[in-house]
Amino acid sequence: MISIEEQVRRQAEAAQAAARKMAALSSTQKNAALAAMAQALETSAPEILAANAEDVKSARASGLTPALIDRLTLSERRVRDMVEGLRAVASLPDPVGEVVRAWRVPSGLEVGRVRVPLGVVGIIYEARPNVTADAAALCLKAGNAVVLRGGSEALNSNIAIVKALTQGAGKTDLPLDAIQLIESTDREAVTAMMKQRGLIDVLIPRGGAGLIRTVVENSTIPVIETGVGNCHVYVHADADLNMAQSIAINAKCQRPGVCNAMETLLVHQDAADGFLPALAPQLIERGVQIRGCPRTLALVPEAQPAQEEDWHEEYLDLVLAVRVVDSLDEALDHIARYGTKHSEAIVTRDYQAARRFLREVDAAAVYVNASTRFTDGGQFGLGAEIGISTQKLHARGPMGLEELTTTKFIVYGEGQVR
């Protein structure tokens, strides 16, 4: 029997070989493959649901939380969403082959920069089995091979999904080795993936903060970091308070468990009296627990006192830290100190405050007068997204197909030498 590390290496090698073929496929070939994969997924729905039922049964038996079981569970509707997702990716424009820019240099060479696939993309993710289909589709459309490592609790579901995708792809020009699922549930398999330098070109971890930290700290392959969002909404002195209220409620309550939800509300002292006592009951009615600074506590008696760690926390829950600040500068300093550079919003009617906030806040997405919940590939019009990058290199913010590519210089000469 071969070791887990050797098994991962072989799959990464197979993916690397497939990547060369992937890069040469036309959009028509890739779209035909995605359509066939969607079809196969649709046909295999009963097998996928049966495999998923097994996963869910084991998850219940081992006492996973209801939230995790919900993420794990597939339904006919969720399978249909995966099928639609594949078709939607097929319909997106192909980023590969775009000449980003081309020019002539004094030596007479014609230099161009052309968009090409990254090669092999590794995705390490947790409970949701739909990521298997969604991530594979985006990677393949951008001309890459993909190595998938899902959560152990979703293994049967993932095997069934990849089987269907491979069956569909098998009827087309897509190289079969372009979709690799690491089936070992051992942590060693993740460690082995992080060592496949030269075979896997980039790793994208999708999941909780712990997973992401592990990958960032241990991978020798370049990593695109996704996810952690300690997002702020700052209500400036002159804000339209009705607008501020609807943005705050939306940013906190519409889907509190996601990375672009608000975690801390900052309020200018001149707006605090008129704003917080009106907002608090609405939040509390929606089940939000408020943790406030001393000035907030004076205005919102139901609030608990906030501790230093509250300003750092990504609650992902119906909890909100609230702080009254003296000025825009204090708000900017707070965000610079505690923020995770994900999504930050100001609510204001003041031109100069809006300009300064947009310019001075260092984050993937900076908003004036809108909810942070819009940070999303679909909402930004990028088509689908593979994740939201909170790092600065290569990709920042929602990552669409373009972020799954790189460029190369192509140079046309007529015998030029230096």
CB nearer to a second copy: give 158 or 375.
375
Kindly give, in sequence order, each residue whose CB lies less than 8 Å from that of residue 218, ignoring residues fewer than 6 positions away. Answer: 191, 194
Q: Choose the stretch contacting a second copy; rule: CB under 8 A; options: 132-140, 230-238, 239-247, 304-312.
A: 239-247
What are the angstrom distances between the C-alpha of 5 and each of 181, 191, 294, 347? Answer: 14, 8, 54, 51
Cα separation, 88 vs 382, in Å, equals 12
Is 300 in contact with 290 (CB distance < 8 Å)? yes
CB nearer to a second copy: give 38 or 223.
223
CB nearer to a second copy: give 184 or 391.
391
Give the Cβ contact number of residue 197 at 10 Å. 12
Cα separation, 95 vs 309, in Å, equals 43
Q: Is 118 a binder of a second copy (CB under 8 A)?
A: yes
Q: Is 351 a binder of a second copy (CB under 8 A)?
A: no
For a second copy, the binding residue among 240, 273, 317, 330 (CB under 8 A) is 240
Tell me the DSSP string of 203-249. Answer: EEEES-HHHHHHHHHH-SS-B--B----EEEEE-TT--HHHHHHHHH
Q: Is 406 a binder of a second copy (CB under 8 A)?
A: yes
For a second copy, the binding residue among 75, 254, 269, 307 (CB under 8 A) is 254
Q: Choose the stretch contacting a second copy; rule: CB under 8 A; options: 29-37, 54-62, 311-319, 361-369.
A: 361-369
Cα separation, 60 vs 68, in Å, equals 10
Per-residue interface string for the shown chain with a second copy, residues 84-103, x marking contact by CB under 8 A: -------------------x
Q: Is 258 a binder of a second copy (CB under 8 A)?
A: no
Q: Smallest Cα–Cα separation from 271: which of 347, 335, 336?
A: 347
User: Beta strand pairing status for 262-268 and 231-235?
Assistant: parallel
Cα separation, 235 vs 247, in Å, equals 10
Q: Is 392 a binder of a second copy (CB under 8 A)?
A: yes
Q: Is 408 a binder of a second copy (CB under 8 A)?
A: yes
Q: Choose the stretch contacting a second copy; rule: CB under 8 A; options: 46-54, 176-184, 247-255, 265-273.
A: 247-255
Cα separation, 383 vs 380, in Å, equals 8
Per-residue interface string for the shown chain with a second copy, residues 8-27, x marking contact by CB under 8 A: ------------x--xx---
Burial code (b: 16+ CB inside 10 Å, e: under 16) for 323-341 equals: bbbeebebbbebbeebbbb
143 φ/ψ angles, rounded to the nearest 5 degrees: 85, 15
Q: Is 396 a binder of a second copy (CB under 8 A)?
A: yes
Q: Choose the stretch contacting a second copy; rule: CB under 8 A; options: 67-75, 127-135, 166-174, 394-402.
A: 394-402
User: Beta strand pairing status for 202-206 and 120-125?
Assistant: parallel
For a second copy, the binding residue among 159, 367, 383, 400 (CB under 8 A) is 367
For a second copy, the binding residue among 328, 365, 399, 401 (CB under 8 A) is 365
Cα separation, 20 vs 57, in Å, equals 40
Q: Is 64 a binder of a second copy (CB under 8 A)?
A: no
CB nearer to a second copy: give 64 or 258.
258
Using CB under 8 A, which residues numbered 161 to 220 contact a second copy?
201-202, 216-217, 220
CB nearer to a second copy: give 35 or 374.
374
356: left (phi over 0), alpha (psi -120 to 50) or beta: alpha
Q: Is 381 a binder of a second copy (CB under 8 A)?
A: yes
CB nearer to a second copy: give 179 or 361.
361
The single residue listed with the structure tokens 């990677």 is: 139
The residues that touch a second copy, with contacts defined as CB under 8 A, are: 20, 23-24, 103, 105-107, 109, 111, 116, 118-119, 201-202, 216-217, 220, 222-224, 240, 243, 246-247, 249-251, 254, 336, 358-360, 362-371, 373-375, 379-381, 391-394, 396-398, 406-418
